[in-house]
Each structure stands twice: as structure tokens, then as C-alpha cells.
Structure 1
Amino acid sequence: MNSAVSSRLKDRARTRKQVDNIYDNAVRAYIVHYSCESFYDNAGGGSKRVTSIAVRNLNSAQTKSWSIHKSAELLGFLDVISEHLDELEFHMLNGYFEFLRLHHDCTFVHWNMRDENYGFAALEHRFRVLAGEPFTLSDERKVDLARVLVNLYSRSYASHTSPSGKKGRIMSIMEVNKIADLDALQGNEEAEAFVHGEYLKLHRSTLRKVDVFANLFDRVHAKTLKTQAGFLDIYGVHPTALFQAAKDHWILSLIAVLSGLTSAVLNFSRLAAWFK
């Protein structure tokens, strides 16, 4: 078996075990997602303003969220949001980082929150810009669901455009699995909502996406997630990979067992006939 196949199988086995471990300890696992202004309309080169954050417990489905809209209502600025954006964003991020500090020993499942452009580090940087002191979550507590899907199903698990033409793998995998996209905005729609000051719309999109990611994670664990990857995309053609496929799918395992029994019966019949 070549090193590429061996590495792929090891990554797949490790990822499957990781998913099972998280699910077994779901009470201490959260789905996290956030929305922010557009990455592409950034002539000044500054960090992007965060508009909403949500975390959803994988066991209870209870969701905690922070947003510019919620902070505006709490602080009495609902009618003058645009005049207090820094103060409202600080209030929102402060709540999020306090939650993170209190749950630092939990696992946080996310979607591509990997760097200072979009990710945990981006949230930390943004809070520092607003003169806050962020809490830094240990990397071992972060699990990227997007990478989990790649490790288990290959990069072919979903196209970058859904069957109906919506942009992004999130929308694509949702559509393939018939998960409703009500309130879930595409990237360009989130940018447009920010420009128009539709902070409640952005908040609803963030809440919807943590629900979607929890749904996807449940299906990954149950091995019922539908993808656009073919059998060879996932397993390849090496015999060891095919054995792994049989372990993953009970129907293949049953066929293998029945084939073995059939072969044994035929061999026994031949042997019996030889002694007659």
C-alpha cells in the first residue's frame, strides 16, 4: 500500500474516531458560527466588523447568541444602531469571550474558522481593536467540520455551487441532504444585509447555520450524510481501502459474509463428493 493511500486511511480512521468521541461527550460540545461584513469590500484594509455569533450545544440543542441587534436592544440603541456600532460590537464580543472563558474545556465545532481573516483569531483581533481583552481557546478544542467532511468523503463531497445554483459548499451540502435553508444567507447576501443595516437578518442567518451544522454533524456520526462524492473518491481502489468500505457499510459486510459462507458450502460439497 503506497504512503498516500495509507495516510488517507489513517486520516479517515482518526476523523471517524474524533467524531464518535465528540458525539459521546456531546454535553460538552458546541457548534459555533459567526457573521461579519464583506471580506471583499475592504479598501482600507482594516479588520471586518463582526455582526453576530452563535453557539449551540450538541446535546441539548440550546443556543446562546450575541449580535449587534441584541446588544442594541439591551443598551437602548435599537433606533440608532449606526451611531453606536463600536460600542455595540464590543458589548457583543465581550459576551462571547466570557462564554468562551467559562467553557474553555469544551469542544467547539466550526466551519472554516481557521485564521485572522475569518476564524477564532479574527474574533480575537477584532476585540483587541475595540480595546477588549479576548480569551484564546486552545487549538485542541477546535474541530473544523469542513475538514472533517473532506477527510471522510474527499474534496468531492460537495461542489462549490449547489444543484440549484446557490454559492458555497454549505448551501450545496444542505441541498443534497434536503436541509431547509430558511434564513440561511449566502456570502453575498450577508454582505448586502450588512450594507443595508439588516442586523437582525444577519443574526437569524447565523442562528440557522449553527442548526444546519449540528444537523450535518449528526448525519456524519450516523453515517447517513449524502454527498456528491463517488465510491472511488472516498475509498480509492486499494484492497485495504475496499476492506474499510466494507466496515463502513453493513450491506457490503453482509455480502462479504454471505459470499464467504457460499464459498465454504460449495467447497464442503466438493470435498464430500470426492470422498464418495
Structure 2
Amino acid sequence: MYGDVEAEFEDIMEIPMTQQPAPTQKNKSESITKKVVKTGGIDFQSENIRNDYQKIRAILPKYDAYIENENQTKSDQRINYNLTIRVPSIGYDTLYSLLSSFGIRLNNKYSNIEDVTARYYDLKSRITNKKALEQRYVELLKKASLIKDILEIERNLNEVRTDIERLQGQFNYLSKQVNLSTINVSFYEILPYVYDSSQRTGFWARIFSALDNGWQGFLSFLVGVTTLWPFVFLIIAGIYLYRKFRSKRKS
């Protein structure tokens, strides 16, 4: 009994952890369905951005779609909306075409289709094979009796389970991208210019404002002159001494 366990353990230990086990045999009747990731983008100008926003929200349930992210910005000139819409891939084309008809001017649109069939089934196969290897380690762990063998099996079992978790995460993300297409919608409304009546000033208000500005300028001039008084004093004193000196020479 121990010899069989030891031999089986050594056989499994000889498999490098980075090497994938041989792919499992697929049923010949199993057909490989093409897997694609669809991503689109639309940018348009809206005449009434609130109405278009409400219309978009209203049509989404018809296609089992939803807004994953949305962002609104506003300035004095325009309002912007950015929506990330997720829709089941079967309804992508229809919804994309419908959203492209919104607005008074379509600025830009794009649609990309990425074939991920090979990556999808590769991940699926690797997960299946890793789980098969995991089961072999579990069965072997039940039979092991030596401490060193138990520790070695548990170490390898943990590595396999870590690989499974990583691959499963990649597969789940890719599956979501395949099942739910993405449409990025950006639209904006140009706001009309609004004259600010508070900035309007009448004739007399402008007169008083001009007088006030002139008075403030005069005061500023006096302040400036006052700061120069030491230099003025020196100039006056110099002129006085110069004249006094000249008068003495003449006499």
C-alpha cells in the first residue's frame, strides 16, 4: 500500500508546476462558439441634454442594459454627460444604432469587435486541467502518511489552487466582457449666452465712478509724493547752499 502511494506521489512530483497537464478530451459533438468583445463609442451634441438623458435611461430596460458609470460636468458655456452603458451582446447592435440617432449633430462614433475565442477556451481548458490536478493532489493527500510527503503535497496543492483562483478571475472577467458589451456615450449642450444685467451701469453711475477713480488717483499721487519727502528736502537744501555759496563768491 505504501509503495503504491509513494510511486504515485513521485509521478505527480515529476510534473513541473508551470507545466499544464494534458488537455482533457472534449466531446466530439461539442461545438466551439465564437466569443467576441464588442465596444462602441458615440459623441453627439444635444439640443436639450436633460431630455436626451431621460430618453436614454428610458430605453435601456428594453435591452436589459444599464448605466455602469456616469459623469456630469458644467461650465458657463456647456453641460457635458458621459455614460458607460453595459448591454447584453445580443442587443448591442440595435442599441448602438439607436443611440447613434440621438442629438442634433453626431460628432464621432466607433465600434470595435475583438475576437477572444482562443483566449476564452484556453482559459477554460487550463482551469479544467488545473482542477483535475487539484483532485489528484487531494486524493494523494488522503493516502500519504509521512510528514514530509504531506507537507510537500500541501505545498503543491496550494500552488495549484492559487493558479486556479488566478485563472478563474481572468476567465470571469473575460466572460463578463463577452456577455456584456460596452457603449460609451458622450453628449453635451451648448448653453445660450445670458446677459448679466447686474454689470450694467447708467450714465450718472459712470460719472460718479469716474470722479471716484480720479479722487483715488489724486490721493495715490499725494501718498507717492509724501514718500519722496527726504529726497525733496535734500534737493531744496542743496539749492539753498549752492545759491548761498555763489552769493559769497560774488561779494
| TM-score normalised by length of structure 1 | 0.22
Greater relative CO, 1 or 2 (CA 8 Å, sep 6+)? 2
Larger Rg: 2
| TM-score normalised by length of structure 2 | 0.23
